[in-house]
Amino acid sequence: MDDEESVFSILIGREGCDDEYSSIFEFKHNLQQSCLEEEVEEFSCGCVFYDHQYSNSTTNNTSKIITLLKHTASDSSFGCNYLLQFWSLVQVEGQHPHHHHHYLSTSDQPFCVSHLRKGHCWYRKLSTGHVYDVDEGAEDEQLGGVGRAYRSKNPESTPDLRLYSIHEFPLRDHAARCGLRVYLTMPLFGLHNNQCYGVLEFLSADATITRSLLSSLDQGLQIAGLKTTHTNYIPISNDNIEKMSSCRIEALTEIREAFMLITEIPQLYAANVWIPYGKCASITTNTRCMELVLFTEDVTRFMSTNQVHVQLRKGIIGTVLASESKSCFCRNLCEFSIADQPLAHYERRERLDVCFAICLQSSHTGDLLYVLEFYLYPTPTTDGYLASFLNFLLPAMKQELKTFKIASGKQLGEELVVEVIGFSRATGVTSSSQSGQPQPNVFPFKFKSVQYSEDQQGKSVSYASQTEQCSTAAAAAFDSSKITETGKRKSGLHLSLEVLKPHFGKKLKDVAEELCVGRSTIKRACRDYGIERWPFKEKHARNLSLVERESARDSLQDMWPSRGNNLGQTEAEKVMIKVRYEEDIIRFELCVSSGVQKLREEVAMRLNLEMSSLKLKYFDEDNDEILLACDADLQLCPKKGTKMGKTCIQLFAQLISQ
């Protein structure tokens, strides 16, 4: 796999790729091929190119592709700058009977473009001269994304095709120079059979694959009498569990309530819950369709679908499903190929490298499997870091998931064996030296190294089991007696004042690294103890009473105002609100005491957005994104003076789906 620095040095778009030809004839002329004799139909949202001899056929598969492309070109909800082309299977007779050569070609096949971009023309011309070998034994560079989709009978997508290696996508650099970024391949089948006719390839100059785009493709496939192996692309929402059976609702509600406590774990960045989807359209026997049913907010912005196809022993989900212990850990998800880990490129773009997964079952739903993924912050993944996370996680799961057990048959709280996935270029969890007597684990667990191999399908080739200990700082911060039935988020997992005091006077960033926690976790703990700003100056370190007395809090109010009711006069006055949303900026005056609800109403009205789909954030002094969740958060927003002498609060808006 190419390293990230070299990958993103590939420029998107050479000079002129975004320019458009003045006419269809000029576009066809620059293809310099038989396209000059093809029929072209122009629709409101694109142009379809095809051979007229197939246009009126009711039995030929090509006519179905033309119908699909015509629907796409006339659907305004498709809404992006794209090239859509079909790759058909070609069979070449061999010298011996039954020895045939098979490859995919798009030459003389119909295609569609949304705009007459030069970049679309260049890539289409290049594609017509390229073929993908799909015979058994074909190498990655012979398969490409098109060949893999045909062979696996499952779709493949990436938010940025530069994330492919040149072996995974031979035309990667050419596509990038044509100004193309988003990439999707879908195998196409007859509506009433499992015969694969070929592969539909979608490339776009836009920044993402939208759900409206996928929904439009689904509709077009149905109209054309075709299907693919994805099932549907309903909007992702935690509210979807309300539509399930009562037993499943009870189980997922239990997990959702547990998440309220688990999301306070310092090392945790995001979490997902996957369950098998019973209506999977995949025709391969070792593939399962997994549906995303619960998640934390942070992870939803990069996912376009709530379902993925998973091969057993492949990727993080396939590995945990096939593992004996039903739990595994991976410190570098980017090592998985996209064939093994369907969301590999999305995770790599979001830098979701570190993941712990565990497979559970609930007495509410019998044998139904629940795969819980926990993404950790990407820090040096030492044994102490992972052990401290498990010392936070396992007691919380034991406390909250009353009806659940590990799918291996063990109860939560019994010894857990965690399979640590290693790759040829990474040896799994690294060792870290600890001084002094190590703290005991809250629950017993062991690590077992498992060497991942694509050829051996994740078969374990070496074992090294050992019991890991929680780091001193993390163990001191954890107090299982704080987990109660009420007030879980406030008094659950937190940093004690005794842990924080020795670090007063240090930089917040350095303290966060030492304690293996996020800076927001430290800030939240400080506010719970009445410390309204991290005391990083030396005078605070010499005289700790400064941060504990009320006078210190008052002196810092202009930088980090108190959440109390004694607000100064400036807080009650109107301030200038400046909000950025995508390319737009709005300004208006508002009284801070009006609260977040009123603020969101004003922003939604001016941006013509649904208030329920909107979230507001600001950057704090550490350049962290802080969500405005309540009125108290609004009081904490940094305020700046304008040239006109007014007080200004700068925010940015996002859709909840982002």
Q: Which residue has the higher pLDDT, 585 or 514?
A: 585
H or E element: which one contains 447? strand 445-451
Quote the pTM value.
0.65
C-alpha 469/C-alpha 194 separation (Å) is 52
Q: How confident is the model at residue 378 (pLDDT cuts 50, 70, 90)?
A: confident
The mean pLDDT of 52-78, rounded to a whole number, is 78
In percent, how much of the chain has pLDDT > 70?
A: 71
The mean pLDDT of 594-608, rounded to a whole number, is 86
Q: How confident is the model at residue 33 (pLDDT cuts 50, 70, 90)?
A: low
Contact criterion met (CB below 8 Å) for 293 and 240: yes
Phi and psi, residue 149, nearest 5°: -65, -40
- Whether the per-residue pLDDT at 429 is higher than 70: the answer is no
Give me the pLDDT at residue 400, please: 92
Give me the pLDDT at residue 127, please: 95
- Whether the per-residue pLDDT at 145 is higher than 50: the answer is yes
Tell me, what DSSP letter sits at residue 439?
Answer: B
Least confident of 424-433, 587-596, 635-644: 424-433
Give me the pLDDT at residue 111, please: 95
Q: Which residue has the higher pLDDT, 59 or 516?
A: 516
- At 218, the amino acid letter reads D
Q: How confident is the model at residue 303 (pLDDT cuts 50, 70, 90)?
A: low
* Widest distance between CA atoms in the chain: 92
Burial class of residue 33, CB neighbours in 10 A (0-12, 13-18, 19+): middle
Smallest CA-to-CA distance from 187 within 38, 309, 57 is with: 309
Least confident of 235-239, 243-247, 477-481: 477-481
Q: Which residue has the higher pLDDT, 98 or 590?
A: 590
Give the angle subtended at the CA of 506 by the CAs of 501 and 507, to the nearest 5°. Answer: 125
Give me the pLDDT at residue 535, please: 77
Q: How confident is the model at residue 539 (pLDDT cuts 50, 70, 90)?
A: very low
Q: Which residue has the higher pLDDT, 479 or 225?
A: 225
C-alpha 546/C-alpha 625 separation (Å) is 28
- Whether the per-residue pLDDT at 448 is higher than 80: the answer is yes
Mean per-residue pLDDT of the chain: 76
SS3 244: coil
77-128: pLDDT as tens digits: 776 789 999 999 998 876 666 667 889 999 989 999 999 999 999 999 999 9
467-510: pLDDT as tens digits: 333 333 333 343 333 333 333 333 334 567 777 877 887 888 77
Q: What six digits make up the tokens of 156?
A: 């493949």
Q: How confident is the model at residue 432 (pLDDT cuts 50, 70, 90)?
A: very low
Q: Which of 244-253, 256-265, 394-403 has the highest mean pLDDT?
A: 394-403
Give me the pLDDT at residue 583, please: 79
- Whether the per-residue pLDDT at 17 is higher than 60: the answer is yes
Least confident of 132-141, 322-331, 564-573, 637-646: 564-573
